[in-house]
Amino acid sequence: MTGSVVLSQARQAVAAAGRVVVKVGSSSLTTAEGGLDRSRLDALVDAVAARRAAGGQVVLVSSGAIAAGLAPLGITRRPRDLATQQAAASVGQLALAHAYANSFGRYDLTVGQVLLTAEDVVRRAHYRNAQRTFSRLLALGAVPVVNENDTVATAEIKFGDNDRLAALVAHLVGADALLLLSDVDSLYDGDPRLPGAQRVPEVTGPSDVDGVRAGSVGASGLGTGGMASKLAAARLAASAGIPVLLAGAADATRALSAADVGTAFTATGTRLSARRFWLGHASAATGRLFLDAGAVAAVVTRRRSLLAAGVTAVEGAFEAGDVVELVDPDGAVVARGVVAFDATELPALIGHSSGELPPEQRREVVHADDLVPLTA
């Protein structure tokens, strides 16, 4: 269970982080009437600038483009169709970038806008390119302000929500911590709009959120994914070795100073190499391999390669070198890896031990070096 030593470690990691990713949601930047709330944006920038003045590096992942574009276009409610959302984002992103440039300008800080689509992290070459851009922006002293490139992202290539984007960016830039800021001051064990919900101050492992009900629709109607997407993103980052603090945007300064605000997620996993993180969490899988119980134990617990003998079925139209999901007998995805055979070749091999296979096919189906168990 939660101990005070663990509590201080997770919060202090955020406070002491040399490089921190700060994500802020739409509901924390916009007014009820629509349009940007300059005073709340300035307050956030004050907190980030203070961290910069103390020698820290900050990458800001900011939502709000769609919300900020509604009022200028005379739209009164968040649109449901992609085309109108993209039109709103096109107008709103410009306003957002302008507002950040002005606000950081009060501190003589320069901002660099980085708009990403899922393609930019799914394709390995793009991932490395994005890494280089962030690294150079930070080295030059700029504050990268990141959002999804909503105007060109189609339904198929959308991250879906900026919480997940922030977790991916945190790993991509090698951040020491991730701060997720929202209109709610912490994670609660149930929807805080309902009576009796209790704050969850610490999450040290998956069992701490067993009973938590995190809704997928926020109170403001402006954001995407609600608390459910924040929880998933926090667990994703924590499982990849990055401590996370989820807090209210109004508490940004205190959240960056180890105060007892929000919900702190202890890093549960070891930090993966960029390649293994990409493989486990950012790549697009093109097929699925179904494993028997023995193969699951070998791959997940003993970290061995996957052999044809432990595969019971194959799904998808993949080629050797593609990323596939490995599925246990209960249907849960337990790992991802780079498959060494085409989908057309595998059905004849599965269930057979290596000795039964022709020499040219006696190789691992997924090599241990190309395989990432998903344990979070």
Ligand X SMILES: N[C@@H](CCC(=O)OP(=O)(O)O)C(=O)O
Residue 25 binds ligand ADP, judged by CB under 6 A: yes
- Return the DSSP state at 354: G
Reported residue count of the chain is: 376
Q: How many helices (H) and strands (E) are present in the chain, helices listed first?
A: 11, 13
- Which of these, 247, 190, 193, lies nearest to 23 by C-alpha position? 247
Closest Cα partner for 212 from 220, 315, 226, 125? 226
Q: Of ligand X, ligand ADP, none, which one does residue 147 interact with (CB within 5 to 8 Å by kind)?
A: ligand X
Nearest to 59 by CA among 92, 99, 100: 100
114 scored as a contact of ligand ADP (CB under 6 A)? no
Single out the residue of 226, 243, 280, 310 in contact with ligand ADP (rule: CB under 6 A).
226
Q: Which of 134, 188, 318, 341 binds ligand ADP (CB under 6 A)?
A: 188
Query: Which DSSP string corresponds to 145-175?
Result: EEEE-TTT--GGG--S-HHHHHHHHHHHTT-
Residues 6+ away with beta carbon under 8 Å from 46? 253
Provide, rounded to whole angstroms, the least separation between the CB of residue 70 and ligand ADP.
14
230 labelled binding-site residue: yes
Residue 219's binding partner among ligand X, ligand ADP, none (Cβ under 5 to 8 angstroms by kind) is: ligand ADP
Kindly tell me which residue out of 38, 98, 106, 193 binds ligand ADP, with binding defined by CB under 6 A: 193
Q: Is 323 left (phi over 0), alpha (psi -120 to 50) or beta?
A: beta
**C-beta of 201: minimal distance to ligand ADP in Å?**
12
Question: CA dihedral defined by 182, 184, 190, 195, rounded to 10 degrees?
Answer: -160
| In the complex, minimum distance from the CB of residue 218 to ligand X, in angstroms, rounded to a whole number | 7
Closest contact distance (angstroms) between CB of 218 and ligand ADP is 2
State which residue has the least CB distance to ligand X.
223
Shortest reach from residue 54's CB to ligand ADP, in Å: 25
Is 239 one of the binding residues for ligand ADP (CB under 6 A)? no
Q: Are 204 and 2 in contact (CB under 8 A)?
A: yes
Q: Is 225 annotated as a binding residue?
A: yes
Report the amino acid identity of residue 319. Answer: E
With CB under 6 A as the contact rule, which of the stretches 170-178, 223-231, 252-260, 307-315 interacts with ligand ADP?
223-231
- Binding-site residues for substrate, in ranges, read 63, 150, 162
Q: Which residues bind ligand ADP (CB under 6 A)?
A: 25-28, 182-184, 187-188, 190-193, 212-215, 218-220, 223, 225-227
- Binding-site residues for ATP, in ranges, read 23, 182-183, 224-230
